[in-house]
Amino acid sequence: MKKKSQSSSKQGAEKNRGNSDHTLNLHHQRLCQALSLGLSKSYGDKGRKWHSSDIEIHRLVLRSIDAFLDCISAEPLQHPFVKELIGDMVGALEGILQFTNEATLSLVSDVAVKMVDIVPTSVMDSYVIDLVRPLATLLTSHNLQATFSCATALELIISNLSSKIEGKVWDIMKQTNTVIHIVNNIRGFSNRTTPIENYLKMVSLLSKILQRWQPSRFLVWSDAKLMEVLEVISLDPDISVKFAVLQLYSALALCGNGAQKLLENAETVLPMMVQCMDSSNSISVRLEGFKLAQCLAMNEQGCSKMMASCCDPITNAIIDGMRSWGTLPGRIPKDTMFLLTGACRLALITCWAGEHHKCFWKLGIDQVLLKLLLKDFHKIYPSQHYLEKIVTAEHGLRENYLVVLRPCIWDILGGLASHCLKDFNPSMHGEEFRMDFLIICACLAFVDSIRQFGQSDISHIFQYESATRTVLMMIYSPSSYIGSRTIFFLSEILKPNGKEYLKRLLAKLSQPRTKLAMLDTLQTVIDLMSLACYSGLCQYRDYIIGRQGINTLVALIRWCLTNNVHMRRASVAPHLHSSVLEKNCCWDHTEDWDGDDMALLFSLWGLSELMHKTHPDMFSSQVDCSETQLVSLLQGICSDTSAPGPRWYAAYILSYFGHYGFPSKMGKRIGNVLNDKEFADLVFIVTNEEPLTVHSVILKARCPLLLPRSVDEFFVRQDGEKGERSRKEVCLKSDKIDRKVLLKVLEFVYSGHLQAGEELVEKLRRIARHCDLQHLLQILSKKHPRWGTPFPTFDLWFALELAGHHLSDIALVAEGADIIDWMCNTCSMTDPHMHVHRVILLSSSSVYFHGLFRSGMQESHSETIKAPVSWEALVKVVKWFYSDELPKPISGCLWDNLDAEEKLNELFPYVELCWLAEYWCLGDDLHEYCTRVVISHLDSAQRLSVKLIQIAASLHQKKLVEVIANYMAPLYNHLCKSGELDEVADELVDMVRAASVRHFQEGGHSHT
């Protein structure tokens, strides 16, 4: 019986198939006939071209395509006809779309939508390009239905576009001004001429474009009117309207500048975002809210701006999202899992300090995290003995419940631990046993990682990385509660085999190494973090030191520096970046504490703990290199590394050797002028001892509280004049402060660091506290650097602002006074100028200024100096004088959207500065930096090379001219033909020609 029924249903299916095959054949034939009416005989290798202008034929073809598509819609890939006909069908559509006849417009655009919807991307891919142009052009049509359909078709095309043709499609959209047309359509909302669906369609198409193509974002966020209109649209109470705008915002926030704009309008954008996150909405709406928040919080600045106004509701929404699955029995549905992942990802904002930490604790984040780690969380009872707790947690973790979320959970926990307050105690917010379990779970995962000993597969390595990092954060947490509990539990868990693991770890780390592949570097980072964890446990410290641990770490630090070992965490940890966020642009990540120096940071971390926590004499007997060598190595890290973390740890280790502070290039420069007496304007008189001469401008910028008016406790004021220049004198109250200590403090103020024996530390701390030198105070206390603390920069720029103006003793005047209405706040000079300080100019060790100020000639008393460069260049070089940093040219979207002239204006000052660096003898660093800036921008400004080579030649920049000539070599033929070289001096043209001959001899190609 059963068999029979089966076979009969099979027969039925075949019969159906037979029927549908018949219909398909029919439609296929009709379509072929119709197409042949309008297509030319042959058209290249891509199919035939449409030539018919007969509306009736258009209609016939469109209806045939429509019917054919309906026929194949169930299984489009099954039919060989599709591949065979797709070229002709696209050709016909393209032709009819271009015809833009009102009678067929709606029909043709609808058919286009159906086609891109039904025909699979794999077949469509090579043809979509032909459709993009006519579709994009029609976005300006007055036929609302047609524009709607065209937008729908484009949206479908863009959503499924393969990255191979991404560039070509963007080119077409640029040529057809697609983004501008869409923007104009949305701006029309203020007149409300069409139904809201049409605007929403445009908004949603625009978000797809913004997501994919970075350059499109500028056109949107820089359009103030559009941003206003979007805000108005978002006020619509309908949540689907808000959702569409939210999608656009999250795409826009992928650009750092776009996010900035959104945060400027925080009062409308954020409430809308928060409203969408609410648990009463559908999961996709909530997720979109999370996504926007995640984009806005891409760096610490963004996060704190966002949290400033919406801390409570955002943390609430996150916790809601993380709890959302709690009520569901059995397997977690897919979309709930998405929500959970989205909420956890956003919860990673715990990696930054801020008010949200308090909110998270208040809302019971510990309980939420524990529930995500241990499935049978509810069976845990609080009063277990600690050994039982460990066993319970071990069993719980082994169930591998929600294991994909673990890296995220560890990171959230690590973030919470590293930004706790000192007096944090879990009993303030919940119950201690929860925190205990969280700590135990992380410690177990960490021990699991060292047990595996690098044998783990790639899917585990990221989980181990985050678990290890979290344990490190907990051991060194500012909260002594978390720190001591972690050390306690970790010691217990390590008891049986801890030493054995450590032995293997040390052996592995001491192996010689060269440049490693990415995964091996990551494993080294994990090993270094593990060693830093071990170094936090006193029972293992002697063992590490006995096994050459200090030497191993010093060798690893050298390895990082000589091999340029760089790795940014976000680029390796998969849970930190989704494919969407990968497309971001214009974000500044320079503040990230570990930056791309993870390996260096954790080597220094372990080393600092070993050195500070062991016997002071230990160093000389343990280390191969001399103290001087190590000190200069660490000072180098302080002044040359870009990430704050390694710099802080290097400074922290330096304090072990009695070097307190933050060495930097600028500090080195200013430190040299402490001994300058000529331009000093303040004298500290000490009875029976040599007076101390200082420069008020430096004190004003670096330590204003040390100026006499503020510290009457230390000084007796006694204004008087002495010598040629007017100088103020103050007497030291020797019972309050001694000269030696004051000199040390001045050393710090001038150079950013000081060297002092143990006996002075207490006195130094007293003044540091009095003068509010917080960073010095911290380093004198030899306290562990706190994760995320910015590294103190040496910047005298403050001295240039109004506060320092009255201390200025010279003005730099720019050339080419073509700035209209230039005004100075302090004087009546009309040429653009800046009031600066002789002593700072001298600190650059420029022979030019030394000659000028000390020659005794008339110029040495002059109140102004001509700076023969433009105002823009002058501002930049003054910034360099006062901070040792030159402002960077604008970059990202902003640079890409400048026209050729603006780009030239942006680069011109750097060429001028190349010249000025030579003329004023400002050193090779500045010259090299400027040259590099110009060269690195040649690529994005090809046409500029003709102008730049002339400017560089006129300023005698031989090296730069050579580089630009080489750059122009492949363009030479093209430039000759276009006549662009006509106005260039013959000798420069000859140089380019010679370079181009060399280029072709070496097998290069010609560019156009």
Q: Does 824 bind Zn ion (CB under 5 A)?
A: yes
Candidates 351, 467, 482, 586; binder of Zn ion (CB under 5 A) is 586
β-strand partners of 597? 567
Rounded to whole angstroms, the Cα distance separating 508 from 453 reads: 9
Query: Order of strands, edge to edge, in the sheet holding 728-732?
Result: 692-694, 682-685, 728-732, 715-718
Cβ nearer to Zn ion, comparing 144 with 585? 585
Smallest distance, Zn ion to C-beta of residue 270, A: 21
Cβ nearer to Zn ion, comparing 893 with 964? 893
Q: Taking contact as CB under 5 A, which single stretch among the options 120-128, 164-172, 250-258, 444-452 is the one that binds Zn ion?
A: 250-258
Nearest C-alpha neighbor of 69 from the set 103, 93, 95, 100:
93
Q: Taking contact as CB under 5 A, which single stretch among the options 271-279, 709-717, 893-901, 924-932 is the one that binds Zn ion?
A: 893-901
The footprint of Zn ion on this chain (CB under 5 A) covers a number of residues equal to: 8
Handedness of CA 755, 758, 764, 765 (dihedral sign): positive
Q: What is the dihedral of CA 359, 360, 361, 363, to 10 degrees?
A: 80
Rounded to whole angstroms, the Cα distance separating 551 from 322 reads: 45
Smallest distance, Zn ion to C-beta of residue 170, A: 15
Pair of tokens at residue 677 = 């007496």
Nearest C-alpha neighbor of 464 from the set 508, 519, 418:
519
Cβ nearer to Zn ion, comparing 697 with 952? 697
Smallest distance, Zn ion to C-beta of residue 588, A: 11
Pair of tokens at residue 909 = 């000052």
Q: Taking contact as CB under 5 A, which single stretch among the options 197-205, 357-365, 501-509, 885-893 is the one that binds Zn ion?
A: 885-893
Q: Does 255 bind Zn ion (CB under 5 A)?
A: yes
Residue type, 166: E
Cβ nearer to Zn ion, comparing 109 with 870? 870
Answer yes or no: are the C-beta atoms of 711 and 787 closer than 8 Å. no
Cβ nearer to Zn ion, comparing 810 with 960? 810
Q: Taking contact as CB under 5 A, which single stretch among the options 247-255, 360-368, 553-561, 929-937 is the one that binds Zn ion?
A: 247-255
Q: Taking contact as CB under 5 A, which single stretch among the options 314-322, 439-447, 737-745, 892-900 is the one that binds Zn ion?
A: 892-900
Q: Does 581 bind Zn ion (CB under 5 A)?
A: no
Q: Does 827 bind Zn ion (CB under 5 A)?
A: yes
CB atoms within 10 A of CB 848: 15
Q: Interior CA angle at 378 toward 373 and 379, to 5°?
A: 105
Smallest distance, Zn ion to C-beta of residue 635, A: 37
Smallest distance, Zn ion to C-beta of residue 838, A: 16
Q: Taking contact as CB under 5 A, which single stretch among the options 371-379, 824-832, 845-853, 868-876 is the one that binds Zn ion?
A: 824-832
Cβ nearer to Zn ion, comparing 561 with 585? 585
Q: Taking contact as CB under 5 A, which single stretch among the options 274-282, 287-295, 584-592, 920-928 is the one that binds Zn ion?
A: 584-592
Q: Taking contact as CB under 5 A, which single stretch among the options 182-190, 579-587, 617-625, 739-747 is the one that binds Zn ion?
A: 579-587
Smallest distance, Zn ion to C-beta of residue 835, A: 6
Please state, in angstroms and as integers, the Cα–Cα distance from residue 244 to each residue in 153, 157, 269, 289, following that order.
17, 18, 13, 11
Answer yes or no: are the C-beta atoms of 247 and 238 closer than 8 Å. no
Q: Does 893 bind Zn ion (CB under 5 A)?
A: yes
Cβ nearer to Zn ion, comparing 194 with 891? 891
Please state, in angstroms and as integers, the Cα–Cα distance from residue 786 to each residue in 337, 349, 425, 538, 782, following that order.
35, 17, 18, 20, 12
Cβ nearer to Zn ion, comparing 129 with 585? 585
Cβ nearer to Zn ion, comparing 291 with 753? 291
Handedness of CA 688, 692, 693, 699 (dihedral sign): negative
Give long-range contacts, CB 8 A cutoff, 24+ apart: 224-233: 225/187, 226/183, 226/186, 226/187, 227/261, 227/265, 229/186, 229/187, 229/189, 229/190, 230/186, 230/203, 231/265, 231/268, 231/269, 232/189, 232/190, 233/186, 233/189, 233/196, 233/199, 233/203
Pair of tokens at residue 131 = 């459709």
Cβ nearer to Zn ion, comparing 222 with 384? 222
Cβ nearer to Zn ion, comparing 562 with 826? 826
Q: Taking contact as CB under 5 A, which single stretch among the options 361-369, 823-831, 867-875, 912-920 is the one that binds Zn ion?
A: 823-831
Overall residue count recorded for the chain in this entry: 1008
Cβ nearer to Zn ion, comparing 220 with 873? 220
> Which element (helix H / strand E) includes 290?
helix 283-296
Which residue is listed with tokens 């460069």? 869
Cβ nearer to Zn ion, comparing 741 with 824? 824
Smallest distance, Zn ion to C-beta of residue 217, A: 5
Give long-range contacts, CB 8 A cutoff, 24+ apart: 50-56: 50/91, 50/92, 50/94, 50/95, 50/96, 51/95, 52/95, 53/99, 55/101, 55/103, 55/104
Smallest distance, Zn ion to C-beta of residue 885, A: 23
Rounded to whole angstroms, the Cα distance separating 184 from 961 reads: 44
Cβ nearer to Zn ion, comparing 438 with 893? 893
Pair of tokens at residue 977 = 């033909």
Q: Does 834 bind Zn ion (CB under 5 A)?
A: no
Cβ nearer to Zn ion, comparing 797 with 929? 797
Pair of tokens at residue 869 = 């460069």
Cβ nearer to Zn ion, comparing 277 with 810? 810
Give long-range contacts, CB 8 A cutoff, 24+ apart: 999-1002: 999/966, 999/969, 999/970
The distance from CA 236 to its chain's CA centroid, rounded to whole angstroms, is 33
Please state, in angstroms and as integers, the Cα–Cα distance from residue 824 to each residue in 380, 655, 796, 798, 805, following that order.
72, 45, 20, 17, 11
Q: Taking contact as CB under 5 A, which single stretch among the options 5-13, 463-471, 698-706, 886-894 is the one that binds Zn ion?
A: 886-894
Q: Which residues contact 816 (CB under 8 A, 6 or more apart)?
A: 870, 871
> Which element (helix H / strand E) includes 683?
strand 682-685
Cβ nearer to Zn ion, comparing 34 with 254? 254
Candidates 446, 892, 926, 934; binder of Zn ion (CB under 5 A) is 892
Candidates 585, 741, 743, 938; binder of Zn ion (CB under 5 A) is 585
Q: Taking contact as CB under 5 A, which single stretch among the options 556-564, 690-698, 827-835, 878-886 is the one that binds Zn ion?
A: 827-835
Q: Are strands 810-814 and 833-836 parallel, antiparallel or unpaired?
A: antiparallel
Please state, in angstroms and as integers, the Cα–Cα distance from residue 381 to each residue in 433, 710, 741, 749, following that order.
9, 59, 58, 56
Cβ nearer to Zn ion, comparing 30 with 577? 577
Smallest distance, Zn ion to C-beta of residue 697, A: 16
Pair of tokens at residue 739 = 């000269």
Rounded to whole angstroms, the Cα distance separating 158 from 170 reads: 10
Q: Taking contact as CB under 5 A, which single stretch among the options 634-642, 798-806, 891-899, 944-952 is the one that binds Zn ion?
A: 891-899
Smallest distance, Zn ion to C-beta of residue 255, A: 3
Smallest distance, Zn ion to C-beta of residue 45, A: 39
Q: Taking contact as CB under 5 A, which single stretch among the options 290-298, 585-593, 798-806, 899-907 is the one that binds Zn ion?
A: 585-593
Pair of tokens at residue 901 = 């002239």
Smallest distance, Zn ion to C-beta of residue 155, A: 22
* Residue ranges that bind Zn ion, judged by CB under 5 A: 255, 585-586, 824, 826-827, 892-893
